[in-house]
Amino acid sequence: MADGPIDAKIGIIGGTGHEGSGLALRFAHAGFSVGIGSRSEPRALARARELAVALRSAGRSANLTGMSNSELLDFADVFFLTVPFASAPDTVSGLSFPPGKILVDTTVPVSFSGGRPSVVSLEEGSSSERIARLLPATVRLVAAFKTIPARLLSDVDTPLDCDVFVCGDDDGARTEVMRLCEAFPGLRAVNAGRLANAATVERMSALAIELNLRYKVKYNRWRLVGLEQ
């Protein structure tokens, strides 16, 4: 990644879901080479083809490839974990990340009861901290994109017009992920400190989802006012 983020190959673990597909589209649209991973290689291939067709029919470049999650480990430089939070522990436990690679956790521990979302209380404090305990120390874990609505990511012509809160205990990895975020139009990357702050960011995501329902809107997301004086 010495020559800038555009050189990083992006790997989306669980890239066939809404969040993963949205990130894949945005990164491909920004010129990155993107691998879409899935437990099922055929599903990954189908989704990559579908996203590439959508981008090319809009006259965009589309450097997208589908593959199994384990093939993705050899392909990419930076990984995004976009599986549902409940599957995240099994998913990361089943993968052997090459040492030194960055893994970006996007999961949010939300459950729905009677249609109402609420944060799932985790002993570790946050979904990111739970995942951290399952990873070898050689994987550089960063939390990001937790508060960006998945379906808004898929609408590549709409500027995101919000902040992304990037947390992690590895300063260098957090800085690299912040740099990647800046490739998305209208997205401001905020250094949100240590990984434990993911607990706050995950709660903010759950509150935004609750407010989507109450206010009958789709894309609630967050911005700090006052960060630039």
Positions that interact with a copy of itself (CB under 8 A): 119, 149, 161-162, 190-193, 197, 199-201, 203-204, 206-208, 210-211, 214-215, 217-229
**For a copy of itself, which is the closer residue by CB, 135 or 207?**
207
Nearer residue to a copy of itself within complex by CB, 67 or 190: 190
Inter-residue contact 10 to 33 (CB < 8 Å): yes
Please, are residues 129 and 92 in contact by the beta-carbon 8 Å criterion?
A: no
Identify the bridge partners of residue 142 per DSSP, sorted by sequence position.
104
- Token digits for 162? 């919000």
Query: Which residue reads 């709660």 in tokens?
Result: 203
Report, in angstroms and rounded to the nearest whole number, the Rg of the chain calculated over CA atoms: 16
Tell me how far apart the alpha carbons of residues 221 and 54 are, in angstroms, rounded to a whole number: 25
Closer to a copy of itself by Cβ: residue 90 or 161: 161
- The answer to whether the beta carbons of residues 181 and 30 sit under 8 Å apart is no
Closest approach, Cβ 116 to a copy of itself, in A, equals 9
| Residue with Cβ nearer a copy of itself (37 or 117) | 117
Q: Kindly tell me the burial class for residue 120, based on how many C-beta atoms sit within 10 Å of its own C-beta (0-12, 13-18, 19 or more).
A: middle
Work out the burial of residue 71: count CB atoms within 10 Å of its CB; fewer than 13 is exposed, 13-18 middle, 19 or more buried: middle
In the complex, what is the shortest distance from the CB of residue 146 to a copy of itself, in angstroms, rounded to a whole number?
Answer: 13
Smaller CB distance to a copy of itself: residue 169 or 210?
A: 210
Shortest separation between residue 229's beta carbon and a copy of itself, angstroms: 5
Q: From the CB of 215, what's the least distance to a copy of itself, in Å?
A: 6
Minimum CB–partner distance for residue 50 and a copy of itself (Å): 26
Return the number of the residue (61 or 200) whose C-beta is nearest a copy of itself. Answer: 200
Instruction: State in angstroms the smallest separation of the CB of 16 from a copy of itself.
Output: 25
140 by DSSP, 3-state: which? strand
